[in-house]
Amino acid sequence: MNQIYKPHDEWESYIDIDKYGKLTLSNIEFTTTNLCNMRCSHCAVGFSLLSKELPAISADEIIRKLDEVETLRTMSFTGGEPLLTKKGVRDNLLPLLKYAKSRGIKTQINSNLTLPMSHYDLVAPYLDVMHISHNWCTEKEFVETGFAMMDKTPSIEHRGQLYRNIFDNARELSKGGLFVSAETMLNRNTVPYIQKIHEEVANEMLCKRHEIHPMYASDYAEKMETISLDEYRKVVNYILDIRKDIWILFGTLPFYACSSNEEDKKLLDRIKLSSNTTVRNDVDGRSRMNLNIFSGDISVSDFSDDGKSLGNIKNESLNSIYSRWLDTNISKSINCHCPAVKCLGSNVIVKNMYYPKTEFVSGSVK
């Protein structure tokens, strides 16, 4: 019998349960820019994007706040497009990446990967994971919808080149030894193309991992059509049927071991018995908070469910803001823990999308 291999996921929230016995602030996600060279119709932060960058809080001030979080294990950087301007990379991104490196903290940048390679060369020596989104069914779709919310779009030729850059950059970074992870959101649009997308991720981009997530119907994407739980279960089984030999990570998988649905249990058993395949307990609001480096505001994620700030680092510590979050009604409604299967239940968005009447509370389901 072949040995079942499960790779280690540094962004897994359950690591904190094992280490500290409770949810713990171990991950900070930074919004490091409000600029982007695209305006994707599925973007979860599209309405917050700007045409001119705001002044940022100094890296030294942010680092002083990070020094107070002794449990910090991972840091993620998002935007906008975090690598859009080399000035932004030098002033805002590199100081935090170098700080993380000095503490042994693992890092991830979320990028659309369309820029010249020189932008990625700046951060590659300090970076652990280059995280990209690949929700494009065809180049034509990228050209038409990747700039759908932009007032003045680049030429079709330029947009097509940006699409080809994604493949070329991913391949070059992967060959250079960087861990490139591509995320695909399951929705009515991507599901019919999921085999094509997966094969591109594995064979053309040479990614080490393919992440599969629900579509977050937020911001620009609020009118995009999500799939039902039955459809979701079916496509996950299909992915396991056609998968290539790379790590498959199911993030915020909307199926749980406590389900009374036998098909849910069969699917979870299949994932458990599949080598190089993992399910991630969502980090947003559990082990992670988002820090906006321009305002200092802290939220559950870069697109928090209610859009409200939980606090601000200018007048409060990250640890105290995190403690207050855990005491909110929203946090308590998803604060579920089953040690038998190391499950932390749903996140806010998946709960609202698929389980609006379910309370995820430890011990409530047997």
The string of pLDDT tens digits covering residues 76-133 is 999 889 999 999 999 999 999 999 999 999 999 999 999 999 999 999 999 999 999 9
Phi, psi of 76 (to 5 degrees): -125, 150
How high does pLDDT run on average in the chain?
91
Q: Give residue 153's pLDDT band: very low, low, confident or very high (50, 70, 90).
A: confident
Predicted confidence (pLDDT) at residue 214 exceeds the cutoff of 60:
yes
Of residues 257 and 50, more confidently modeled: 257
pLDDT recorded at residue 305: 47
pLDDT recorded at residue 222: 61
The amino acid present at 187, given as its one-letter code, is: N
The count of other CB atoms within 10 Å of the CB of residue 25 is 22
3-state secondary structure 246-277: CEEEEECCCCCCCCCCHHHHHHHHHHHCCCCE
The mean per-residue pLDDT over the stretch 225-253 comes to 96
Chain centroid to Cα 213, Å, comes to 9
Q: How many residues does the chain have?
A: 366
* Separation between Cα atoms, residue 354 and residue 71, nearest integer Å: 32
CB-based contacts of 327, cutoff 8 Å, min separation 6: none
* Separation between Cα atoms, residue 75 and residue 101, nearest integer Å: 10
pLDDT recorded at residue 47: 65
Of residues 140 and 216, more confidently modeled: 140
Cβ atoms of 132 and 166 within 8 Å: the answer is yes
pLDDT recorded at residue 206: 98
Predicted confidence (pLDDT) at residue 308 exceeds the cutoff of 90:
no
Phi/psi region, residue 80 (left: phi>0; alpha: psi -120 to 50; beta: rest), is left
Q: Give residue 52's pLDDT band: very low, low, confident or very high (50, 70, 90).
A: confident
* Separation between Cα atoms, residue 96 and residue 102, nearest integer Å: 10
pLDDT recorded at residue 366: 44
**Beta-bridge mates of residue 130:** 109, 180
pLDDT recorded at residue 8: 97
Predicted confidence (pLDDT) at residue 365 exceeds the cutoff of 60:
no
Q: Give residue 352's pLDDT band: very low, low, confident or very high (50, 70, 90).
A: confident
pLDDT recorded at residue 218: 58
* Separation between Cα atoms, residue 14 and residue 338, nearest integer Å: 11
Work out the percent of the chain whose per-residue pLDDT is above 70.
92
* Most confidently predicted of 36-45, 48-57, 222-231, 234-243: 234-243
Predicted confidence (pLDDT) at residue 256 exceeds the cutoff of 70:
yes
Q: Tokens standing for 70?
A: 């002794």
pLDDT recorded at residue 1: 42
CB-based contacts of 140, cutoff 8 Å, min separation 6: none
* Separation between Cα atoms, residue 198 and residue 183, nearest integer Å: 10
Task: Tell me the per-residue pLDDT of 53-85, one tens digit each, with 9 for 90 and over.
Answer: 889 999 999 999 999 999 999 999 998 899 999
Predicted confidence (pLDDT) at residue 42 exceeds the cutoff of 70:
no
* Separation between Cα atoms, residue 96 and residue 77, nearest integer Å: 9
pLDDT recorded at residue 193: 97
**The tokens 């599969």 sit on which residue?**
212
Beta strand 288-292 pairing with 209-214? unpaired
* Separation between Cα atoms, residue 184 and residue 211, nearest integer Å: 6
Predicted confidence (pLDDT) at residue 51 exceeds the cutoff of 50:
yes
Cβ atoms of 214 and 185 within 8 Å: the answer is yes
pLDDT recorded at residue 225: 82
Q: Give residue 2's pLDDT band: very low, low, confident or very high (50, 70, 90).
A: low
The mean per-residue pLDDT over the stretch 28-55 comes to 81
Cβ atoms of 98 and 126 within 8 Å: the answer is yes
Phi/psi region, residue 322 (left: phi>0; alpha: psi -120 to 50; beta: rest), is alpha
Work out the percent of the chain whose per-residue pLDDT is above 90.
75
Of residues 2 and 333, more confidently modeled: 333
Cβ atoms of 207 and 197 within 8 Å: the answer is no
